[in-house]
Structure 1
Amino acid sequence: MQSEQPFKLHYRIGSADADYRSQCRPSALLEHMQLAADRDLAGMGVTVSQMLDQGFGWMLLTTDVTIMRPAQLEEEVSLQTWHKENKGVTWLRDYILTDQEGAHLAEARTAWALVDLKRRRVVRPSALPFEVKSHPDLSLGEPSVKVTVPSELSLQEQYRLTVQYSSTDSNGHMNNARYADVCCDALTRDELAAGIIRLQISYHREIRMQEQMIVERSANTDGAVWVRGRLAADNESIIFEAKLSLGDIGTSPPAE
């Protein structure tokens, strides 16, 4: 079944969303994407609490965000989202962020799976006892693909972090949006100044409070930095992989 218009969330970039350049942080964009998706589904009668009551939850598989221009502090923006279609067990959802004039600031494609929380298994879309309206005629392109660090690239440990209360969500593990901060924290100041023009993340497994992650990164290779997170307690267990495509790196900002 197809709804008439995709859901649209209007909001202002607040101080908690902005970074040291007064630009919207990638993680803040991902947070609003989650909020918009939740509100879109809630408008169809598929609330988070209802899903939990039925023993279901959403698992984000991949995120692919292209940033045309970072939204600025106090800028009024609109975030449109829609469920595109299902492919096998995968739910595809797209997003468009626009300014007040309707110009595209960012576009995103995401892939999700429906999970039986008790059995910790991915289930088919038909298992969800709710109707989710779709927009198969609207698409930003092919589904986002799984990010895999090229085998020829050498990644070096950048830092380690222990997941604390501030990074967790109602599922008890690190929130999906926080991974953008993990990636940005691995960049140099010059790389941050260049800006992220595309952010691709694949989520492999969850990490819970008090677990430690080893964050590794590659050198800047052809304008891109690859980042990977491993579970410190099991170095073979990959938590996520990401590719950050950067703008042109010019001169370093002046020292403060």
Structure 2
Amino acid sequence: MSEFVGGYPPQYTMPGHVGTFDGDQHRHLKPSSILKYQQEVGELHLSGGNMSYAQLYDNGLVFVLSRTSCKIYRPLTLEERFSLTTWHRENKGAQFIRCYRFTDAKGETAVESVTTFAMIDPHTHRVLRPKVFFEKYDIHMQPLESVGASDPGKLILPDGLPQVGVRTVRYSDTDYNGHLNNTVYADLLTDFIPGSMDGRVLTGYQISFLKEALEGEEIAIHAGADESGENAFLFRGVTQRGICFEGRCTVEESK
């Protein structure tokens, strides 16, 4: 593991492999599994500095994922071993930015991601400034340590995206918050992409998490081609309570 600087490791690396439960029909690591591994390595990183979810919660701090973007240089495949490294890059306003890099057994980069988080008080739900976190803990930012994935900015979607399906949130989709787990949204992109994923390989995605979706709710999925990019598609998920997510993904033809 990475050496500690102060009381907190500036980077954290964990080993992993693509299990049979992680692969899609093409034996590629599913986008939801990418997010699951990122969630795990981030929690391990924080726990290494005595900042587990429970410890942060007791101190009135909770991280809430707001946006994520991912660039897939090549898909990790079934039974392939990888290393996943994460670090806090910097904060911008109320956003806390974390980066991730998956490397293969040869040390070559396969996947890179950027996520932005908001920090909230779990009791008042008030958004906290990152300064509160940096002052309380020995956090080391690395603003020059970037990745190839773009920062996940605000998505601009056209009005009138056609509805392509409905997804009901089931018990198994939810987590300890009682909400549709963030990792599931990534699979919704490939599940509802116009024309299906047959003959296609995912090369990247961006998701904005806008409102929680609850067990039993129906998400109307709207999707269509992004006219500004080749082999790119836009998505919007809507419940009776409003828009719960927006997304964009890119694909290429299978070789």
TM over 0.5: yes
- The answer as to whether partners of 2:62 and 2:120 remain within 8 angstroms in 1 is yes
1:12 equivalent in structure 2: 17
How far did residue 105 of structure 1 move? 0.5
1:144 equivalent in structure 2: 152
1:228 equivalent in structure 2: 236
Q: Which runs of 5+ in 1 are unaligned?
A: 251-256
Return the alpha-carbon distance in structure 2 between the equivalents of residues 11 and 191 of structure 1: 25
Normalising by the residue count of structure 2, what TM-score does the alignment of the two structures yield? 0.88
Return the alpha-carbon distance in structure 2 between the equivalents of residues 149 and 74 of structure 1: 37
Normalising by the residue count of structure 1, what TM-score does the alignment of the two structures yield? 0.88
CA deviations 1:155-213 (Å, max 9, x no partner) are: 11111122111111122211111101111110256544311111011111111222221
Task: State which of 194, 203, 224 in structure 2 corresponds to 1:218.
Answer: 224
- The answer as to whether partners of 1:60 and 1:112 remain within 8 angstroms in 2 is yes
Q: Which runs of 5+ in 2 are unaligned?
A: none
- The 1:123/1:207 distance shift into structure 2, 3 A limit, reads same
Give the fraction of aligned pairs with identical amino acids, expressed as a percent: 31
1:253 equivalent in structure 2: none
Paired letter, 1:143: D
Task: State which of 17, 24, 27 in structure 1 corresponds to 2:29.
Answer: 24
- The 1:80/1:192 distance shift into structure 2, 3 A limit, reads farther
Aligned positions of 1:1-256 closer than 5 A: 6-128=11-133, 129-140=136-147, 143-151=151-159, 154-188=160-194, 191-219=197-225, 221=227, 222-231=230-239, 233-234=240-241, 237-248=242-253
Return the alpha-carbon distance in structure 1 between the equivalents of residues 97 and 226 of structure 2: 30
| C-alpha RMSD over aligned residues | 2.1
Return the alpha-carbon distance in structure 2 between the equivalents of residues 76 and 120 of structure 1: 39
Return the alpha-carbon distance in structure 2 between the equivalents of residues 120 and 209 of structure 1: 21
- The 1:249/1:71 distance shift into structure 2, 3 A limit, reads closer
Return the alpha-carbon distance in structure 2 between the equivalents of residues 5 and 58 of structure 1: 18
Return the alpha-carbon distance in structure 2 between the equivalents of residues 42 and 84 of structure 1: 18
Return the alpha-carbon distance in structure 2 between the equivalents of residues 24 and 249 of structure 1: 15
